[in-house]
A and B are shown apart, each in its own frame.
Chain A
Amino acid sequence: MELKRVKKIYKTPYGDIRALDGVDLTIPKGSFMLIRGPNGSGKSTLLNMIGCIDKPSLGEIKIKDRPIGNVGDDELSSIRNKMMGYVFQGENVIPHMTALQNLILPGIIKGVDKTTLEKRGMEVLREIRLEDRARIKGTHLSGGEKQRLAMGRALFNHPEILIVDEPTAFLDQKNASLILELLARANEGGATVICTSHNDDEMGDVNIWLKEGRIAEVRSK
């Protein structure tokens, strides 16, 4: 994946906000990239661009050498469904759905048959250690369980790219470790992991520091 001079400008009544200001970035396949930076530095915006859920105001994004600027909405949806997995910042779980239903959503959208959905669902639930919570509604899960569930959902369709926004924020040590372990395992399985973090998590083979919408520092391990 490649980003060339990507800019994202939000127009507000009080003037334009440059969330990203000319980001050039190449993300090698199978890499584990950690995006760091203070609040408002553009981490989530950059993640949205990489995850094809938002389009840049200027610049170009290529996935597998294909520019996605002119790709239609339906195809973008399809790319997101088949290639990507997401864990968002904040509330990730649909409260009225059970843990299993929440988990299999990407599979349902993909059109996977019911038996496979259930089988894969239970497999992932075991991976995230929530197999005994399958029929519990999202609203009754704890914060850590919700985040693990979101992680499992991101992994459900075996994504090539995993987009994770602040995965360990507000989690206790035990849950944070489990999340990091899951991310590392996915990366070892061949998935490209792109993650933002506030914390000083020791992870990723490439660490990028963002400041005021620009890449301030790139550090590879």
Chain B
Amino acid sequence: MIGFFVGDELKTHWKGYFSIVIALCLSLSLFGLTEAYTSHMNEVSREVMVDIFTGHGRLVTDDSNAWDGFYSFGEIQDAEGLASSLEEEGFGASVEACAFVLPMYGYDDGPPLELRGIHTNRGDIYKLEKYLIKGSYFNDGVKYTRENGYGSQFTTLIMPDRNRYKPYPAIISGARASSLGLGIGDTITAPSFTAVTPLLDKKDMMSMMKYLPSMVKALLSGTALNAQVEIIGIYETPTELPGVVTVFLPIESLKEINGWGDKEGTAIHLIFPEPDELTSIESDLESRTGLKVVTWRDGIRFIGGDIYEIMRSSMRAITLALMIIILISIFAWMNSIVAGKKREISMLRTYGLKRRDNLHIFLLIGIVIGLLAGAGALCMSTISMFLFSGTTIKLAGGLFAPKFSLDSSLSLKLLLEQALFPVLVCMLGVLIPSIRSSRVTPVEGLRDSKM
């Protein structure tokens, strides 16, 4: 019975309902497209960051910022011990040592580089070897320290020792190697202020004091004086993103350059056991270790800045505004329908239609147009996604910015949003008119002479 009246009403005023459905479709497909791409981008970014860039996250000292999350400088005492205990808990954890240098290429100085010391045997965490395009990876099992014949310094300074020591090995990005004209076998000099350079972006001179002991130690040992770094491999990366200035060294080499002890590090690279529960793990880890967790999400913000969030929020705000406009339109439209149908409603009430039947008829109309709009929006989103799916994001290829292309990605969340959101909007829009219609008494509409 209700179906008959719903069908009749939809058929009678189909133009109005069709307009509402189209308006909802257009607004929601915009929303759906944005959400789908955001979700896809999230997925891709997550994959990229998790797989090859930051692992799932890094533990850094509390005074590090998002930038430092990738170029972490603060020293973590007994980093190795902490990494071991985290490994026992199920994390993949590997200590890193990072330093920021203004290197010299021959006699010329060059743009700044981050030297990142990594445990070269942790292929489960670092995928560097996979992305090598030239040269070779560090030798497994070799300790690249002075003890083993590495650690030469720039020859023109005091204690030239090039003949006794080989330069520390390093793997550099393709983009930077290309821009500087460097190739396999070329050397870079990491000048004596390597250990101090973390302070370049710290304005507080007092904070320099905490680095003084390691600096003095490095200077006394002679390793920090213009350490030579030889390029043994080049990893793939096509753009000049900040990340591609990273030069990978064995961690023991960098520690030796900086005069750090065996157990120290500047960051702990982490693979989370439950990556989908990053937020809760993050806060737990932070409270237990007293360190800050920087994850791939911070990485995205770092690369994309707040624009990413602003764009997403803006799209949501626009969609929300459109929804409110549509909701008001539905309300006004349905109100006028109910007012115009007063005599008809009264007549049907006289013939036995119950109050709740009336309410259900209009609510069902809301649900039907909502579902139609949802289905339409879903189709339009899918078509748009399909049309855009060939678009390739040109962060293409390489270690820090691998290639990915936009794909049509329909998630359950999106399906629910697309299906339920318009139903909700339509139901809210028709709610008050429905209640009004159910309150029409048999006698009051009959006073109107016109149908």
Interface residues of A (CB under 8 A from B): 48, 51, 53-54, 73-74, 77-78, 80-82, 86, 88-97, 101, 105-106, 108-111, 153
Residue pairs across A and B with Cβ atoms less than 8 A apart, 13 shown, are: A48-B443, A53-B442, A74-B355, A77-B353, A77-B355, A80-B350, A88-B350, A91-B449, A96-B11, A109-B348, A109-B351, A109-B353, A153-B351
Q: Which residues 435-451 in B have Cβ within 8 Å of A in the complex?
A: 441-443, 446, 449-451
Q: Are B451 and A110 in contact (CB under 8 A)?
A: no
Residues of B within 8 Å of A96, CB to CB, are 8, 11-12
- CB contact between A110 and one of B349, B350, B352, B443 (< 8 Å): that residue: B352
Residues in B neighbouring A93, C-beta threshold 8 A: 451
- CB nearest to A54 among chain B residues: B443
Interface residues contributed by chain B, number (CB under 8 Å): 25
- Name B residues whose Cβ lies closer than 8 Å to a Cβ of A: 1, 4, 8, 11-12, 343-344, 347-357, 441-443, 446, 449-451
User: Are the C-beta atoms of A111 and B347 separated by less than 8 Å?
Assistant: no
Query: B5: shortest Cβ distance to chain A, in Å?
Result: 8
B443 and A78 within 8 A (CB): no
Q: Which residues of A contact B441 (CB under 8 A)?
A: 53-54
Whether A88 and B446, one on each chain, are in contact in the complex, defined by CB atoms closer than 8 angstroms, is yes
Shortest beta-carbon contacts, A-B, top 10 = A81-B352, A53-B442, A90-B449, A54-B443, A91-B451, A109-B352, A106-B351, A77-B354, A96-B12, A77-B352
Are A108 and B1 in contact (CB-based, < 8 A)? yes
- Within 8 Å by CB of B450, from A89, A91, A110, lies A91
Residues from chain A with Cβ under 8 Å of B356 in the complex = 74
A95–B94 CA distance with the chains assembled, in angstroms: 79
Q: A47 → chain B, closest Cβ, in Å?
A: 10
* The one of A54, A78, A94 that contacts B344, using a Cβ cutoff of 8 Å: A94
Q: How far is the CB of B353 from chain A (nearest CB, A)?
A: 5
| Residue contact A86 to B12, C-beta cutoff 8 Å | no
Minimum CB–CB distance from B148 to chain A (whole Å) comes to 92
A209 to chain B, nearest CB (A): 23
Query: Is B352 within 8 A of A97, CB to CB?
Result: no
Decide if A91 touches B442 in the complex (CB within 8 Å).
Answer: no
A69 to B271, CA, bound (A): 75
Q: In whole angstroms, how far apart are the Cα atoms of A153 and B347 in the complex? A: 11
> With A54-B442, A73-B355, A94-B344 given, is the CB distance from A86 to B449 under 8 Å?
no
The answer to whether A95 and B352 have CB atoms under 8 Å apart is no
Q: How far is the CA of A109 from the CA of B442 in the complex (A)?
A: 15
Nearest CB on A from B343, distance (A) = 7
Contacts of A97 on B, CB cut-off 8 Å?
Answer: 8
Other-chain residue from A53, A74, A95 in contact with B446 (beta carbon distance below 8 A): A53
Q: Which residue of A lies closest to B9 (CB)?
A: A96
Name the distance in Å between B348's Cβ and chain A's nearest Cβ: 7
B1 contacts A86, C-beta separation under 8 Å? no
What residues of B have a CB within 8 angstroms of the CB of A73 in the complex?
A: 354-355
Chain A residues with Cβ under 8 A from B348's Cβ?
A: 105, 109
Q: Which residue of A lies closest to B11 (CB)?
A: A96
Question: In chain A, what residue has the closest Cβ to B446?
Answer: A88
Interface centre among A86, A90, A108 (most CB of B within 10 A): A108
- The distance from the CB of B344 to the nearest CB of chain A, in whole angstroms, is 5
The interface residues of chain A lying within 8 Å CB-to-CB of B450 are: 90-91
Nearest CB of chain A from residue B233's CB, rounded to whole Å:
78
In this complex, what residue of A is CB-closest to B443?
A: A54
Give the shortest distance, in Å, between A173 (CB) and chain B (any CB): 24
Taking the nearest CB of chain A, how far is it from the CB of B431, in angstroms? 20
B175 to chain A, nearest CB (A): 70
Interface contact B352-A91, CB-CB below 8 Å = no
A108 to B214, CA, bound (A): 91
